[in-house]
Amino acid sequence: MRKRIGVLTYRGESGFVEPGYLRRLVKEGREMGAEVFLFSPQDVRFAEKRINGYVPDGTKWRRERFAWPDIVIDRYRYYPLPKHRAYLPFRKQNWFRYANNRFSNKYVVHQILIQDPELQRWLPETLPYDRKTLAAMLADHRLVYLKPTNGTGGRSILRVEKRAGRYLLHGRTKQQAKSCEKLATLTEVCERLEHWMKNEKSGNEQFFLQQGLRLSLVPKRTVDARMLVQKNGKGQWCLTGMGIRVGPIQSSTSNLHGGGTALPAVSFLVKRFGQEMAERIVLECKELAIKTVTRIEEHFGLMMEFGFDLGIDVNGKVWIIEINPKPGREIFKQMRQYERYAMAVRRPLEYALYLVNKSNLTD
């Protein structure tokens, strides 16, 4: 009998977010012999144990009634906004068997990881925003980022740099509008940051400060590495792939949404650091990924995949900037690594089917 995999995601008035990836997920699942469909909390009929799920139909989505899934992949990207109000109570019910547990916001995750002595060397200083903390961090690092706890795609991040007695601010709003300004005093900077947080926060979202890193491996551009680690069909963590993202000139982030470009990691690092050091950097990235996901699973339970945003500074030191439990995989398309992209889509399905088969054997 075909295994049934439900994919929990947000469905609004204008349809699904990331429809391209979700279509591909359903298609790959079918090719693997599984029945895959999308649904949102409002689509579940608990009394009947049925779900009004969705599958692609040409360029549209067709609604069908499905029996209870054998397993659910949680792909719902939650933000503390009224439209997502139903998600947390729904998710806490555990009506289904999930392939991945719930995660937490970026700041909370940093607090958990910083307690592990093995991980501390990879973590930049990260603290809640207040005026005193900002002053101390700018004195120590001269470059500080203000970030939202639930942000994505480089949105709502403000970069503050102390240079020649002045403060340079660069950022991008929720709508991807660029913001650049020079301010003379720290008081002005604090007022500007507080105004930014008020305008940019989603619901009751908080902001935190993070040590800025010297990531200009390409002059005047922000450069970072995106690494995708996923569980395979045997339940083991694997590195699916890695790419380098180079931001536009004078941009505060390297995100592809904001006009960044993607390059293959090894060839980029060899050009910058030489063969031997490039190999050491890639090896260190793999090591920190496996150590970090192990620590995260100890705290949150079984997970399925993570996108790591890593900083590689001008001295070749590696830093964990951010970890995303519901990562994109478009970077492989940008690098024309289409087979790797296909693998990145298939692996969550392979892992979900592995969990179903494993539980069938033990039942």
Domain extent at residue 337: 215-357
> In the predicted model, is pLDDT for residue 215 greater than 80?
no
Residue 152 contacts by C-beta under 8 Å, 6 or more apart in sequence?
A: 77, 324
Q: What is the pLDDT of residue 50?
A: 96
Lowest mean pLDDT among 91-100, 146-155, 309-318, 319-328: 146-155
pLDDT band at 255 (very low <50, low <70, confident <90, very high): low
pLDDT band at 246 (very low <50, low <70, confident <90, very high): confident
Do 174 and 204 belong together in one domain? yes
Q: What CATH number is given to the structural domain containing 347?
A: 3.30.470.20
Mean pLDDT of the chain: 90
| Residues in contact with 189: Cβ distance below 8 Å, sequence separation at least 6, in sequence order | 134, 160, 167, 169, 183
Asked if 172 and 132 sit in the same domain, the reply is yes
| One domain, residues 137 and 205 | yes
Beta strand residue intervals within the chain, DSSP E: 4-8, 11-12, 15-16, 35-39, 44-45, 50-57, 60-67, 71-74, 126-128, 143-148, 157-163, 166-172, 178-183, 207-211, 223-231, 237-246, 261-264, 305-312, 318-324
Q: How far is CA 277 from the centre of its chain?
A: 27
Q: For residue 250, is it within any domain?
A: yes
In this prediction, residue 206 carries a pLDDT of: 85
Question: Is the same domain home to 309 and 223?
Answer: yes
Same domain, 344 and 264: yes
Q: Are residues 341 and 276 in the same domain?
A: yes
Whether 253 is covered by a domain: the verdict is yes
Decide which of 165, 196, 211 is a domain's last residue: 211
Question: What global pTM score does this model have?
Answer: 0.85
DSSP string covering 137-197? HHHHHSEEEEEETT--TTTTEEEEEEETTEEEEEEE-TT--EEEEEESSHHHHHHHHHHHH
Among candidate residues 81, 98, 115, the one where a domain is terminated: 98
User: Last residue of some domain: 187, 211, 235?
Assistant: 211
Q: Is 75 part of any domain?
A: yes
Specify if 104 maps to a domain.
Answer: no
Residues 161, 234 within the same domain = no
The answer, yes or no, to whether residue 252 has pLDDT greater than 90, is: no
Residue 177: the pLDDT is 74
Claim to verify: residue 263 and residue 287 sit in the same structural domain: yes
- With H, G, I as helix, E, B as strand and everything else as coil, classify residue 282: helix
Average pLDDT over residues 282-309: 95
Query: Is residue 110 a part of any domain in this protein?
Result: no
Q: Is residue 150 part of a domain?
A: yes
What's the per-residue H, E or C state across 59-77?
CEEEEEEEECCCEEEECCC
The secondary structure element, H or E, covering residue 359 is helix 338-362
pLDDT value at position 256?
55
- Verify that 192 and 229 share a domain, yes or no: no
Average pLDDT score over residue span 135-146: 94
Same domain, 200 and 254: no
Structural domain contains residue 108: no
Give the residue from 113, 103, 146, 142 showing the smallest Cα distance to 253: 146
Number of domains in the chain: 3
pLDDT band of residue 202 (cuts 50, 70, 90) is confident
Examine residue 345 and state whether it is found in any structural domain, yes or no: yes
| Same domain (yes/no): 80, 202 | no
Specify the pLDDT at position 362.
Answer: 63
Could you give the percent of the chain with pLDDT greater than 90?
Answer: 72
Together in a domain, 235 and 349: yes
